[in-house]
Chain A
């Protein structure tokens, strides 16, 4: 599953999306907004169609490079307040080694090639829409 959304990420749902009976390991990475001095939120800007394409290619890359069964990546766009997750990567494999390696590689690739830019915001975060998953 690949998704770009303005609303909070439901981590359990992302994890459940990669579970399989033949998977002995599920690794999940959460990238969260850190409370650096003066920072109350990060604003994420994204070239959405290119980002979605790059994320899908990245999942295929993880499957061919590692012994990965399933991988999901969900990324927030717009304003994300301190303490919330801006990205969630979940990965399943028969054994933990491949799942850890693939998850770590995928996050590095997200930072390297996916067209996403963040700016720090000291403004009070606006409440993100809770039900609608709006595309940017």
Chain B
């Protein structure tokens, strides 16, 4: 029994919670700027983005240009998330002409 529990954890059936921050257009799409999100242990950032796009389909149109950050640093979709992480989904930064 104990061994089964350990194996269950190892293959990612435990859950963790992250805090999702959304900005500008994305915040308007979701109707909220901050929301808690539960993911399986060991989930990568791309899984979270896919889950959010599933819940808010209008985000799909922005998937190619989306900027991602974990704990205030820009992050790649491959990064593994941890319990308590703050994850931000951001439109391209404003820019403007030189």
Which residues of A are in contact with B by a Cβ distance under 8 Å? 45, 47, 49-50, 53, 108, 111-119
Contact = CB atoms under 8 A, between A and B. Distances in A.
Given A50-B69, A50-B72, A50-B88, A111 B93 contact: yes
Given A45-B23, A47-B23, A53-B72, A108 B98 contact: yes
Nearest to A57: B73
12 contacts: A45-B23, A47-B23, A47-B69, A47-B88, A50-B73, A50-B88, A115-B69, A117-B23, A117-B90, A117-B91, A118-B96, A119-B24
Interface of B: 21, 23-24, 67, 69, 72-74, 88, 90-91, 93-96, 98
Contacts of B91: 117
Contact of A111 (B23, B69, B90, B95): B95
A104 to B, nearest CB: 9
Given A115-B23, A117-B24, A47 B95 contact: no
Contact of A116 (B72, B88, B93, B98): B93
A45 B91 CA distance: 11
A119 B98 CA distance: 18
Given A45-B24, A50-B88, A113-B93, 17 more contacts: A45-B23, A49-B72, A50-B72, A108-B98, A111-B93, A111-B94, A111-B95, A113-B74, A114-B93, A115-B67, A115-B69, A115-B90, A116-B93, A116-B94, A117-B93, A117-B94, A118-B96
B88 A115 contact: yes
Closest A-B pairs by Cβ, 4 of them? A117-B24, A50-B72, A118-B94, A53-B72
